[in-house]
């Protein structure tokens, strides 16, 4: 993977893309602060790339992927990264 690739996150359909460099722990901290909730499924194509939670699903899901400096998709999270997200997100209902 290119050194310039970074993690990009957008919470919900109306959110803005936020860059977190290569710090997946910072992504999890931020999502927990926003009370995103636990993972209920993964979005791996079609409407985007990311995850669904009890609070964000359908077109209002959480985009989470590796991208270039302009937030263009480079790749989805691999299985190890997805497992870390599933383990790191806290239960939250909003």
- Residue 53 bridge partners (DSSP): 39
What mean pLDDT is predicted for residues 58-86?
A: 96
pLDDT digit string, tens, across residues 17-45: 999 999 999 999 999 999 999 999 999 98
R_g of the chain, CA atoms, integer Å: 12
pTM: 0.91
φ/ψ of residue 42, rounded to 5: -115, 140
């Amino acid at each position: 993977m290119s050194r310039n690739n970074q993690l990009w996150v957008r919470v919900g359909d109306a959110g803005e893309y936020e860059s977190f460099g290569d710090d997946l722990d910072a992504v999890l901290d931020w999502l927990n602060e926003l009370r995103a909730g636990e993972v209920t499924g993964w979005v791996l194509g079609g409407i985007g790339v990311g995850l669904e939670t009890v609070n964000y699903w359908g077109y209002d899901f959480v985009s989470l992927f590796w991208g270039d400096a302009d937030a263009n998709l480079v790749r989805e999270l691999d299985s190890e990264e997805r497992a870390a997200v599933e383990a790191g997100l806290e239960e939250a209902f909003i």
